[in-house]
Structure 1
Amino acid sequence: MSKAALQLFNERLPHKPYFSDDLHFGVRIAGKERAILAKYIQFNQPHAMFWLGFDVDRAGAAIDWSDRNAPAPTLTITNPENGHAHLLYALKTSIRTAPDGKMKPLRYAAAVENALRKKLEADAGYSGLICKNPNHEHWKIAVWQPELYTLNWLADFLDLNAANDKEIVADYGLGRNCTLFDKTRKWAYRAIRQGWPEYEQWLQACHERACAYNLQFSLPLDDNEVSGIAKSIAKWTSKNFDISSFKEFVQRTHTPEIQSKRGKIGGRISKGGGRRSLGEPWIELGVSRRTYFRMKNKSRD
């Protein structure tokens, strides 16, 4: 194995990775010096993804990516007993998975990840937390592509212009981060208006809701990731949503002129068949008709 590839792998390890010598006994966490001796190790940072990792459970997994016209992995880590392998793609720029990162790049990365998984026919149930440790003598290691990948370079192999390759699988890899963030924030936008709670109470509510959504995944996200997403949403909504700002929002986005334009556009699109009336803005805002007009009237006072 290339010394440069192994050095890159080790430099990018978390300071305290999860590790295991036998997956039947689960994983533990320790300093890098101890974890690097184990058969399995966490290979990405908690909030930054330096590698796209895939689990391919079939004989010949380390070489048959070429038969599928997939990009060459940076390295493959193979079980010599059955030919199954982890395929790792090193990224030039890490993908920030923390909720304070921008969602648009994360969605793009999730789409690339999922399309590449399908091309490789990799295991959709792989959590991506740990991989076979290339430092361990038990595994067979090979380096195929020494140059670091960009997401755009990987996308060139995947034809993301095809509609079915733009999808984000809600229960796989980076798709879980996108899904959990979207579901929790959409709930939060409505829920915060039901009483305008104090921040600590609101943070607890967001955390409980995010945990509930996370449990719907077959492979839930780490607790730290869930807490981070909940905290980001709680902070943003508490800062940007209050009674006065909501009044301003209603007044700014539902003027007679804007409503008239929406009505004309909606009329051209549907011709009145089977859609909700655009003259019912309280439905879009998630409040009752009575609450909408009460707050709108107060904003005129």
Structure 2
Amino acid sequence: MGCVKLFEDYLPRRPYHTDDLISGLKINKKEKAKLARLIQPNGPTHRYWMVFDLDRTDAGMHWDNVGAPAPNLIARNPANGHAHLLYLLRTPVRTAIDGKTAPLRYAAAVEAGLRNRLGADRGYSGLICKNPINSHWITHQWQADPYTLDDLADYIDLTPEKAREKPVEDYGLGRNCILFDQLRAWAYKAIRQGWPTYEQWLNACLDRARGYNINFTTPLDISEVKHTAKSVAKWTHRNFNRGTFDDYVARTHTSRIQAIRGKKGGKANGKTKREQGILLLKSGAAVQEVMRQMAVGRATAYRWSKQI
């Protein structure tokens, strides 16, 4: 299956699209939207394509000159040579809050590294791209097979370990990481201020997410912001309510007490676990009873019994 066909298959169900940015973006079903010159390649929950914007006359072959991987697709403007380079991921990166954070951070680091190698436009938002289906553009398919993140990372000397150490950039998928981190950190604390209804909480999360988003050099599209806010609101409202929080506090308090006791060598009433066990044995308790009460193995209890 060619990559142009995959591009069509992976389009969102109702993507943004337009023939002219001056006239603004529209939203329609994929069957109609796919005929437009410009279209949204990725939905708000999954990233199938990494897209880079090169505003240069040799954009179609610049990737080879700088030692970057061959794009799966290039959609090039015949008038000036400017192009969008599209890299297809074998496993799409989930950008919703219920997705794993590590792959998202890794993908963000890979994307930023490729942008730097290609010299792509940092101000490109990634929301829409030149539609390789539309005949207005000159479309080339260079690489037939999709890439893994590790495949792409080979070109920028980046491993998952280095990606974890590398600060997330305010670019592309990095914005999703930053928005998640900021919104979740705020939500975990803020929901405890009055335990709002879901509708109140959703509106609060959306307001906060919009506030974080406007601080990005190139803000995320509002649909991605809304999806992130909804995901955070739903998850925290379901998992953080007065009852579950009280249980969490109680468990945490118990764990801390146990940790303190552990640091003191298991002391209770000023006596160590060993001293308590020996006292039980002296009082006539069987080895099995000492094992149960003191949560120790047979060898330990038997060794204590030899010290009576």
What TM-score results when the alignment is normalised by the length of structure 1? 0.78
For 2:158, the equivalent position in structure 1 comes to 160
Worse-matched range after superposition: 82-91 or 29-38: 29-38
In structure 2, what is the Cα distance between the partners aligned to 1:78 and 1:221?
24
In structure 2, what is the Cα distance between the partners aligned to 1:39 and 1:199?
40
- CA shift, 1:145, in A, is 0.8
Worse-matched range after superposition: 20-29 or 247-256: 247-256
**Aligned partner of residue 206 in structure 2, secondary structure:** helix
For 2:54, the equivalent position in structure 1 comes to 56
- CA shift, 1:102, in A, is 1.6
Q: Closer, same or farther in 2 for the Cα pair 1:177/1:252, shift >3 Å?
A: farther
In structure 2, what is the Cα distance between the partners aligned to 1:32 and 1:234?
29
Q: Closer, same or farther in 2 for the Cα pair 1:259/1:143, shift >3 Å?
A: farther
**Aligned partner of residue 2 in structure 2, secondary structure:** helix
**Aligned partner of residue 76 in structure 1, secondary structure:** strand
Q: Within 5 Å, which residues of 2 pair with 1:151-230?
A: 151-161=149-159, 166-169=166-169, 171-230=170-229
Query: Which stretches of structure 1, 4 residues or longer, exceed 6 Å deviation after superposition?
Result: none
Q: Closer, same or farther in 2 for the Cα pair 1:103/1:215, shift >3 Å?
A: same
In structure 1, what is the Cα distance between the partners aligned to 2:13 and 2:191?
37
> Structure 1 residue aligned with 2:2, among 1, 4, 11?
4
In structure 2, what is the Cα distance between the partners aligned to 1:228 and 1:67?
38
> Structure 2 residue aligned with 1:18, among 16, 19, 43?
16
> Structure 1 residue aligned with 2:249, among 247, 250, 272?
247
**Aligned partner of residue 126 in structure 2, secondary structure:** coil
Matched residue type, 2:143: Q
- CA shift, 1:61, in A, is 1.0
For 1:124, the equivalent position in structure 2 comes to 122
Deviation string 1:104-139 (CA, Å, 9 cap, x unpaired) is: 211111111111111111001111111111122221
Across the two proteins, how many residue pairs are aligned to each other?
Answer: 258
In structure 1, what is the Cα distance between the partners aligned to 2:63 and 2:260?
53
In structure 2, what is the Cα distance between the partners aligned to 1:151 and 1:259?
46
In structure 2, what is the Cα distance between the partners aligned to 1:79 and 1:157?
26
In structure 1, what is the Cα distance between the partners aligned to 2:196 and 2:149?
41
For 2:287, the equivalent position in structure 1 comes to none
Q: Is contact 1:160–1:166 with CA below 8 Å preserved after alignment?
A: no
In structure 1, what is the Cα distance between the partners aligned to 2:181 and 2:94?
16
Q: Within 5 Å, which residues of 2 pair with 1:255-294?
A: 255=257, 257=259
Gaps of 5+ in 2: 264-308
**Aligned partner of residue 65 in structure 1, secondary structure:** helix
Q: Is contact 1:98–1:225 with CA below 8 Å preserved after alignment?
A: no
In structure 1, what is the Cα distance between the partners aligned to 2:69 and 2:237?
44
In structure 2, what is the Cα distance between the partners aligned to 1:253 and 1:55?
52
Q: Closer, same or farther in 2 for the Cα pair 1:248/1:130, shift >3 Å?
A: same
Q: Closer, same or farther in 2 for the Cα pair 1:63/1:182, shift >3 Å?
A: same
Identical-residue share of aligned pairs (%) = 53
For 2:94, the equivalent position in structure 1 comes to 96
For 1:115, the equivalent position in structure 2 comes to 113
Rg bigger for which structure?
Answer: 2
In structure 2, what is the Cα distance between the partners aligned to 1:249 and 1:58?
59
- CA shift, 1:97, in A, is 1.4
Matched residue type, 1:166: K
Q: Is contact 1:44–1:129 with CA below 8 Å preserved after alignment?
A: yes
Q: CA RMSD in A?
A: 2.4
Deviation string 1:193-219 (CA, Å, 9 cap, x unpaired) is: 333333332232222111211222233
Q: Closer, same or farther in 2 for the Cα pair 1:195/1:153, shift >3 Å?
A: same
In structure 1, what is the Cα distance between the partners aligned to 2:120 and 2:261?
49
Matched residue type, 1:95: V
In structure 2, what is the Cα distance between the partners aligned to 1:61 and 1:255?
63
- CA shift, 1:163, in A, is 5.6
Q: Closer, same or farther in 2 for the Cα pair 1:253/1:211, shift >3 Å?
A: farther
